[in-house]
Amino acid sequence: MNTAGEKPEKTVIVSGATFGIGHEMALYLARSGFRVVGFGLEKAPVSSVAEASVADLNSAVKAEGLSAEFVAGDVTSESDVERAVSKALEYGDGIFGLVNNAAIGPLGTILDTQPDLFMRIMEVNLKGSYLMARAVIPHMRERGGGRIVNIGSGAGWGKPNMAAYSTSKGGLVALSKAMALDHFADGVAVNTVIPGGGGIISGMSLGRVAGDQEKLQSKAIGTVAGRIMNGSDMAGAVRFLLSEEAAAISGTIIDVGCFAHQGSSTPLPRRA
């Protein structure tokens, strides 16, 4: 964690940072010594129960003495993305990291997912990451390199009743690997972190079950740690990929939780 009074040297943008796991990751990174620009919505998106006030979030981080600032905006809006990038550039040390976390996750097969909703899911989950990366990579290249961490999903390998969401997250895995190859020579590492095991508390997951936490977690596999994954678990993996220890890692996937979605069988329950 950051030493009190120590000036953060690296600026990281986290999208989808105004609530849920994205917010937890933003705070974790700020407490770990990064300067964080959190970017996200204030009103709950489709199929989510989360809401936030950027003014309240900024008051909270100021009271804690963290080097973090939250900016309201939509990752599908080029002007909003540019505003978040401009805010990050105000600190004068360029942009070192980007965590593409913003996503929406309505359930449905292709038959009960309307075309406009299908396209909205693609816009947020896939185009949003594209727009964010496209905006920051030139600045990373200018400073000699940087790190992009895309937040994926086990649905990217296909899951029932998640046709559009699975499509978007599968595309994100492919986009991550393509960017890792394309920007290798620029010193920009691109990796993916995937939350797994089910039962994860977020605005998106609770929205899928009408806010019923018991229903969400009743059949969750959880993690090898014997519990359901949380935001700190995710943030720890992200922090590693932003660290000097991960300087040579690009094009890979870190799974935080259960890996059954990657072609494996479902793990057995933990022994008593």
Cα distances (angstroms) measured from residue 83 to each of 74, 76, 143: 10, 12, 20
Q: What is the pLDDT of residues 222-259, one digit of tens each?
A: 888 988 888 999 999 999 999 999 999 999 999 998 88
Which position among 28, 91, 130, 165 bears the catalytic label?
A: 165
Domains of the chain: residue spans and CATH:
11-256 (3.40.50.720)
Q: 38 has which bridge partners?
A: 14, 70
Residue 4 has pLDDT above 60, yes or no: no
Q: What is the pLDDT of residues 146-193, one digit of tens each?
A: 999 999 999 999 989 999 999 999 999 999 999 999 999 999 999 999
Q: What is the rounded CA–CA span in Å between residue 26 and residue 39?
A: 10
- Which helix (H) or strand (E) segment holds residue 82: the answer is helix 78-89
Residue 165 is a catalytic residue: yes
Cα–Cα nearest to 38, from 124, 99, 79, 91? 99
Q: What is the rounded CA–CA span in Å between residue 155 and residue 159?
A: 5
Phi, psi of 242 (to 5 degrees): -90, -5
Residue 3 has pLDDT above 50, yes or no: no
Q: What is the mean pLDDT of residues 258-270?
A: 76
What 3-state class would DSSP assign to 78? helix
What pLDDT sits at residue 2?
52
